[in-house]
A and B are shown apart, each in its own frame.
With several copies, the nearest count.
Chain A
Amino acid sequence: MLDRRVADFAQAIAGIGDGATILLGGFGGAGTPLGLVAAVHAAGLKDLTVIANNGGSAEPDLSLWLAAGQVRKLVCSYPKSKLNTTASFSELYLAGKIELELVPQGTLVERIRCGGAGLGGFYTPVGAGTALAEGKETRMIDGREHVLEKPIRADVALLRARQADRLGNLTYNMAARNFAPVMATAAELVVAEVEEFVEPGAIDPEAVVTPGIFVDRVVLKGAPR
């Protein structure tokens, strides 16, 4: 019987190795899977490429990995934070200790969707004529300059959700949804930290946001580390 539920965070992140590319859900604090982040931190994984909207804050979020030197490269729309405290992204970046690929937020989520949907790339007007299009192929479409953007896929997606059933069907909580449903489509291993396990059928089939086909493991927020 298919059962995506795992009992603790060690099982939730099992198999993720050094050098992994990780899609990390969340916008600001909303939707960041803090338990999974802590588990990856505790596991001491190194040389990670992280794709996330933000670059970490004062919370025990991506900042944990940054401070521990676990991240080689960040693909991100907004790496700055007023809340940065210790060993922040800014420090690492200015010291040349981390690579940054800056992507407009809408292009970032669209590139992840593109990867998850099995497409090869897309043309967007966003960024045309700006520094963020430098080195990218462009093309005039209907008289407007467009930039060719490539799909993003990753080894792992770490997400936060509200409810999950054993099949991996997910709902989210308000604006914590943000990148998660798209990230869930674009990684080999998709893990969600959830507030609650429910029985199959408890989530209205019309209100499932991420169907379980996309999800590999679900772990309770309060599960043992």
Chain B
Amino acid sequence: MSTPLTREQLARRIARAIPDGAFVNLGIGLPDQIPDHIPAGREIFLHSENGILNMGPRPPAGEENWDLINAGKQPVTLRTGGSFFDSSLSFAMMRGGHLDISVLGAFQVSERGDLANWSTGIGEGVPAVGGAMDLAVGAREIWVMMEHTSRHGHARIVRDCTYPLTARGVVKRIFSNLAVIAVTADGLEVEEILPGLSLDALRAQTEAPLRPGAMRPLEG
């Protein structure tokens, strides 16, 4: 069996899935790495919810401008043809369905596409939501990028989220380090699976029922 995808391989897999010309918002955390892997010749437009469209990579050291940061508060650049706007228009872009894809990290995804990615529940200290709920409701397609199971080996693809919900029924596709899974009206369908990993072995690490779909080999 192949080893599970590294984070970099997973970022590369997702980068390949983003079509040319797409407007995309990448959540804070894991999805950060995706832009480094966009295939050559493909033009992707990155949105940042603090009011940037066509965001570019981090500038070289010493050239940071702290008025030009992304939603994770890291310095970025603006690509030619980019624009700045206020938070109101920025969130109108999301909620209004103007973004093609949003790629988010997650703690849990349910078989119906419910998403839990903002809080691990009561007792964790200070709650904070940022733009997580807005993003989850807004883009035309919500993709989740996550490790298939938690650090402690618990399933993250579940029948019902036990963590506080971010939004109900929004996730369209899950990219994990073991599989690519589509959320359909009939439940979860395995589109890609790690070469050499059996469907039963994948099911053993997944709480929600999985149906075999295309079952193509997952490549990083």
Contact = CB atoms under 8 A, between A and B. Distances in A.
Interface in B87-121: 87-99, 119
Nearest to B94: A106
A175 interface: yes
Nearest to A130: B165
A77 B131 contact: yes
A182 B86 CA distance: 8
Contacts of B164: 130-131
Interface string B64-98: 01111100010000101111111111111111111
A104 B53 contact: no
B91 A106 contact: yes
Contact of A27 (B50, B78, B125): B50
A126 B97 CA distance: 13
Interface residues of B, number: 58
B96 A118 contact: yes
Contacts of A113: 88, 92
Nearest to A92: B126
B81 A178 contact: no
B87 A28 contact: no
B51 A177 contact: yes
B215 interface: no
B66 to A, nearest CB: 5
Give chain A's interface secondary structure class. Answer: loop
A214 interface: yes
A9 interface: no
B168 interface: yes
Interface stretch (A39-47, A65-73, A165-173): A165-173
Q: Which of A78, A177, A211 has the most chain B CB atoms inside 10 A of its CB?
A: A211
Interface string A175-203: 11111111001100000000000001101
Contact of A104 (B54, B67, B89, B134): B134
Contact of B126 (A93, A124, A178): A93
A109 B88 contact: yes
Contacts of B85: 177, 208, 211
Contacts of B45: 2, 167, 213
Contact of A105 (B97, B129, B165): B129
20 contacts: A27-B87, A77-B130, A77-B131, A80-B128, A100-B126, A109-B88, A117-B95, A118-B94, A118-B97, A125-B95, A130-B166, A174-B84, A177-B51, A177-B86, A182-B86, A200-B80, A212-B81, A213-B53, A213-B93, A213-B99
Pairs A-B, 9 closest by C-beta atoms: A118-B95, A200-B81, A106-B91, A106-B134, A117-B92, A208-B83, A28-B73, A176-B67, A118-B96
